[in-house]
Amino acid sequence: MSIKVVLTEDEIPRQWYNLAADLPSPMQPPLGPDGNPVSPDMLAPVFPMNLIEQEVSQERWIDIPEEVLELLYRWRPSPLHRAYALEKALGTPAKIYYKNESVSPAGSHKPNTAIPQAWYNKEFGIERLTTETGAGQWGSALAFAGALVGLEVKVYMVRISFDQKPFRKVMMETWGGKCVPSPSNETQAGRDILAKMPDTPGSLGIAISEAVEAAVTDPTGKTRYALGSVLNHVMLHQTIIGLETKKQLEKIGEKKVDTVIACAGGGSNFAGLAFPFVHDKINGAQIDIIPVEPSSCPTMTRAPFVYDFGDTAQMTPLLPMYSLGHNFIPPPIHAGGLRYHGMAPLVSAAIRENLITPRAIHQLECYQAAILFARTEGIIVAPETSHAVAGAIQEAKKAKEEGKEKVIVFGLSGHGLMDLLGYEKYFAGELHDYALPEEELKKSLDDSLQGLPKPAGV
C-alpha cells in the first residue's frame, strides 16, 4: 500500500540548496541600465537586505530559520505519490512518481517562497509588500503568507487572468490582501501601457513594473516588492520540494531516478524540484532533467540567451537569461503562470551548461494529459501543471516503446480547482494550439533587445 510516501516532522529538510554554488561556470551578474553590474545596495529600495544577501550568496547550503520551518510545517512535508493508476492506463513499464504541492492552503508550491519572503521582510522591519501575479497562484500565496506573518499585501494581477478568474481576488481579500487588475491606473507604468494599448490582456512583465514602482515610490520606505519566481532567492526557497523528494525516494529504497520533469514559467517550480537533482548530475549522476513550457510562449526552446529586462517598463536590472523580449505579450492561454517572456537566470544557466533539456508542449496535449491524470490519479491539476503531466506521459510512453523500466519523477505544482474555466473551454472545443510565428518572435526580439549589452560567450 505504498502509493504515498510521507516524511515525519523530523525528516523535513532544514537547509535550502543553492545551485549557484555548484555551477561549472559562474553566473553573469545582473546589469544596470548603464551596463555596469548591479550592486546589492542598488537593490535595497526593492528588496530587504537579508533577501539580497541570499540573492547573491555563493553558499551551497543555507539554513531555513526555525520560525519559517514552523510555518512551512503547517502543510509540509508534502506527499510523494506513486502514480500506479496512471502507469496502468498507459501500460508503461516506467514507474511514475509525483511530488504533490497542491496540498498547501493556497493550492500550489508558491507558499514555499512566499512564507520566507514575508518572514525576512518582517524581520527587516518592512510593513507592506507589493507583487504581481499571473494565474493568481503567486498573489494568493503572498496574501496567505502576509496573513500568517503579519504584513499588508498588494497584488497587481494580469488583467486576462483577473477577468478569467474573478475569485482569485476574493481569495486574496479573504487573507486580507488587496488585488487590482494590471495594467492599472495606479502607477505610471500602468497608465503608460493603458494609453498605448487600452485593451491589452496585460502580462507578467507589465504587472512586475507596476508592483516595483508601487514599492519604490512609497515615501514611508516601509514597502518592498516580492517576486514569485525568476530570482535566485526564490529558486533557493523552492528547493525544499526536491530535497524532500530525494528523502522520500530514499525512504522507499528508490536509488536511481532517470527523469525529472516540471513545468517552467519563471522557473521557480521547476528549480524547486529539479535543482537538488541537478546537484547530483553535476556530481556524476545520469539524469534527464526536463523543464516543460507552452509552445505558445517558448522561452527556453526558441528564444536566445541575452541580457534583458525582467519587466516591460524596464524597471528591473538586466538579467542574463533566455528571453522572448521584454515587450513580448504571450497569447492568453489558460496556463497564466507560464505566460512570461523570460526565464530565471539560474535555470537559464543550467540550460547553457547542458544540465537540463527544455521541451515545449502544445496546450491541447496538456489538457488531454490533465484529464487522463484526473481520471486515474484523482487530482485535477492546474493548467500550468498539466505541462509537467504531459511531459511525464511522453516519457512514460517512450519508456514503453523502449521497454525500459525508467523511474520518472514529476512536479505536481498545484491543483486546478480555481482554474476550471480552461477545462470548461477544453470540453467545449474552444481551445486551440498556437505556435508562435517566427516573424513575431523576431519582431519582439528586435523591439526589445536593441542597444542592450550581450552576455559574455554569446
Sites of contact with its own copies (CB under 8 A): 1-4, 6, 8-9, 66, 69-70, 73-75, 81, 85, 103, 105, 107, 144, 147-148, 166-167, 170-171, 173-176, 370-371, 374-380, 415, 417-418, 420-421, 423-424, 427
Least spacing, CB of residue 370 vs its own copies, in Å: 8
Q: Which amino acid is at 282?
A: I
Least spacing, CB of residue 172 vs its own copies, in Å: 10
- Residue with smaller CB distance to its own copies, 258 or 377: 377
Cα dist. 332→200, 323, 372, 384 in Å? 10, 18, 24, 13
Tell how strand 318-322 and strand 305-309 pair up.
antiparallel
Residue written as cell 551596463?
Answer: 35
What is the rounded CA–CA span in Å between residue 435 and residue 239? Answer: 32
Alpha helices, DSSP H only, in 91-216? 111-123, 137-149, 159-164, 166-174, 188-196, 204-216
What is the rounded CA–CA span in Å between residue 110 and residue 112? Answer: 5
- Residue with smaller CB distance to its own copies, 76 or 359: 76
Number of Cβ within 10 Å of residue 275's Cβ equals 29
- Residue with smaller CB distance to its own copies, 144 or 322: 144
Least spacing, CB of residue 157 vs its own copies, in Å: 15
Least spacing, CB of residue 133 vs its own copies, in Å: 16
- Residue with smaller CB distance to its own copies, 2 or 283: 2
Helix (H) or strand (E) holding 265: none
Least spacing, CB of residue 223 vs its own copies, in Å: 20
Least spacing, CB of residue 246 vs its own copies, in Å: 20
The grid cell for 118 is 514575508
The residues with which 263 forms a beta bridge, in sequence order, are 292
What is the rounded CA–CA span in Å between residue 23 and residue 272? Answer: 16
Measuring CA to CA, which residue among 213, 227, 68 is closest to residue 142? 227
Judge contact between 410 and 385, C-beta under 8 A. no
Judge contact between 328 and 300, C-beta under 8 A. no
Number of Cβ within 10 Å of residue 208's Cβ equals 29
- Residue with smaller CB distance to its own copies, 157 or 380: 380
- Residue with smaller CB distance to its own copies, 108 or 232: 108
- Residue with smaller CB distance to its own copies, 307 or 426: 426
- Residue with smaller CB distance to its own copies, 344 or 379: 379
Least spacing, CB of residue 122 vs its own copies, in Å: 15
Least spacing, CB of residue 95 vs its own copies, in Å: 17
Cis preceding linkage at 77, omega within 30: yes
- Residue with smaller CB distance to its own copies, 3 or 49: 3
3-state per-residue secondary structure call for 66-105: HHHHHHHCCCCCCCEEECHHHHHHHCCCCEEEEEEHHHCC
The grid cell for 437 is 510565428
Least spacing, CB of residue 174 vs its own copies, in Å: 5
